[in-house]
Structure 1
């Protein structure tokens, strides 16, 4: 188990599926996590078990717990590129009372440290959409830099939005957050 200042990160378990099912069918959670309501949601519990517990070998998903060991979100990585030692990060705080409280930033710092020090990645990337300013600010606190945009790459509630591409290098992160 990984431990941050306020969070813990552990592998997802079958007991987590009911909460993940609730979040996957929550319009507001999906709107901010991907801007894709309802396109990527309305999944059955069986589909969620396959997506979260039976992940393909190139995707790793974990649970984010609060101080009381309650599930508040998920975090993980995919698109591993072995020669360049890079991967793509994803995170969702699905439990809305924990939004804007620093839990996502704490989880991201804790998890990125793990990816850089234990997985020996050189670079972590991620993307969001241009109106998700809270997420962009949180990623910038971790050290991610905006590296580009994909114009009108996201379709959100009838309108096209730019995807914001962000990246973080190992040395930048360790300089900002220490080696620990």
Structure 2
């Protein structure tokens, strides 16, 4: 289990699926995590079980816990590029009681430290949509830098929005957060 200051991260277990299913069916969680409401909610519990529990060489998913080991979100990585030592990160704080309280920031710092130290990645990337200001600010606190934008790449609630592309290099992380 990975330990941060406020969060812990562990592999997803079958017992976690009911909570994850609730998050996937929450309009507000989906709106801010991916702008994909209602598309994500069209998945059954069985489909979510396959997505979250089946081993995949390309996608790794974990659960985020608070200090009392309460499930609060998910985090993971995909798009592993071994020659470039890069990866794409994704995170969702599904329990809205934890929004705006730095739990997501702590989880991303903890997970980035793991990706840089244990997986020896050189670069972590992620993306969000342009109206997700809270997430952009949290990612910037971790050290992510806006590297670009894909114009009108997201369709959210009947409108096109830009995708914001962000990246974090190992040395940038070390400069902000110390040793790995």
TM-score in terms of structure 2 length: 0.99
- 1:35 shift after superposition: 0.5
Q: Distance in 2 between matches of 1:74 and 1:40?
A: 15
Name the counterpart of 2:89: 89
Kindly indicate whether residue 131 of structure 2 is the aligned counterpart of residue 170 of structure 1.
no
* Aligned counterpart, 1:34: 34
Q: Separation in 1 of the partners of 2:41 and 2:148?
A: 27
Name 1:66's counterpart in structure 2. Answer: 66
Q: Report the alpha carbon displacement of residue 55 of structure 1 after superposing the two structures with TM.
A: 4.3
Following TM superposition, by how much is the alpha carbon of 1:41 offset from its aligned partner in structure 2, in angstroms?
Answer: 2.1
Alignment-derived partner of residue 19 in structure 2: 19
Alignment RMSD: 0.7
Contact 2:25 2:40 in 1 (8 A): no
Q: CA deviation at 1:59?
A: 0.3
- Retained in 1: the 8 A contact 2:126–2:166? yes
Question: Cα deviation per residue 1:92-131 (whole Å; 9 max; x = unaligned)?
Answer: 0000000000000000000000000110000000000000
Shift of 1:57: 1.4
Aligned pairs, number: 180
Residue 43 (structure 2) pairs with residue 49 (structure 1): no
Gaps in structure 1 of 5+ consecutive residues: none
**Structure 1 SS opposite 2:179:** coil
In the TM superposition, residue 42 of structure 1 has moved relative to its aligned partner by 2.5
Distance 2:74 2:80 in 1: 18
TM-score by length of 1: 0.99
Question: What is residue 147 of structure 1 aligned with on the other side?
Answer: 147
**1:46-73 Cα deviation digits (max 9, x unpaired):** 0010000114211000000001101000
Question: 1:139-178 deviations in whole A, cap 9, x for unaligned?
Answer: 0000000000000000000000000000000001011100
User: Once the two structures are superposed, what CA deviation does each residue of 1:72-103 show, in whole Å capped at 9, x if it has no partner?
Assistant: 00000000000000000000000000000000
Which sections of structure 2, spanning at least 5 residues, go unmatched?
Answer: none
Correspondence for 1:108: 108
Structure 2 residue 4 is matched with structure 1 residue 8: no
Kept in 2: contact 1:25–1:43 (CA 8 A): no
